Amino acid sequence: MYLSWDEMKKINDVQVEMLRDVTEACKKLNICYYMVHGSLLGTVRNSKFVPGDDDIDIAFFRKDYETFIEKAPELLNKNYFIQANTTEDSYPLEFAKLRDS
């Protein structure tokens, strides 16, 4: 599927807002996160998103990941929810996703 530059800009703007929310939750929970994969590449190489990248990739150490999954929903925007194999029986992936309803 082809997305125009303007459509990708709108998606990236939402992603930045979600990342700000995650960052604030992590500060309140005193946990660290790390940019990884395409998000890290874009940050280091371009100081912005890699063109066409439609997600933000972050990682946690296991203990921080578990804390985030458990406690962050209370701190995040009420339109956001975490999908994980610990929150949904039928969720097939080993990593969580933050979704905007």
pTM to 2 decimals?
0.85
- Per-residue confidence (pLDDT) for residue 29, from 0 to 100: 98
- pLDDT tens for 1-57 read 678 888 888 888 898 899 999 999 999 999 999 988 878 788 888 777 887 777 889
- pLDDT tens for 53-74 read 778 899 999 999 999 999 999 9
| Residue recorded with tokens 């590449």 | 41
Helix/strand/coil for 96 = coil
- State the Cα–Cα distance between residues 18 and 80, nearest whole angstrom: 8
- Per-residue confidence (pLDDT) for residue 1, from 0 to 100: 66
